[in-house]
Amino acid sequence: MSGKNRKDISIELHVEIVQKQDQRSGELTEGYVKRILTKSSTHPHGIKVQLETGEVGRVQHILEDDE
């Protein structure tokens, strides 16, 4: 599932994000959502979140916990 709809994102959700400095390379960072930073209901590049590790980026994929 993609991370373009805010309603699909929740706190402690397991996601992959792309950080600002990694946008060109497409490198993804995996983690759990601590805060949802995007206020609008959708965003074409992904909802911006902060992970529990403090990293900030846009959600690219929502992961199942068994992945």
**pLDDT tens for each residue of 32-66:** 999 999 999 999 999 999 999 999 999 999 998 76
Quick check: 6 pLDDT over 60? Answer: yes
Rounded to whole angstroms, how far apart are CA atoms 42 and 60? Answer: 13
Which residues are registered as beta bridge partners of 42? Answer: 5
Our count of domains for the chain comes to 1
Flag whether 36 is in a domain: yes
- Residue 37, pLDDT score: 98
39 class by beta-carbon count within 10 Å (0-12 exposed, 13-18 middle, 19+ buried): exposed
> Can you give the residue range of the structural domain that contains 33?
6-62
Q: Considering the entire predicted model, what is its pTM?
A: 0.91
- Residue 66, pLDDT score: 62
Neighbours of 13 (CB within 10 A): 17
CATH number of the domain bearing residue 17: 2.30.30
Flag whether 58 is in a domain: yes
Flag whether 1 is in a domain: no
**Strand pairing report for 14-18 and 48-51:** unpaired
- Residue 65, pLDDT score: 73
- Residue 15, pLDDT score: 97
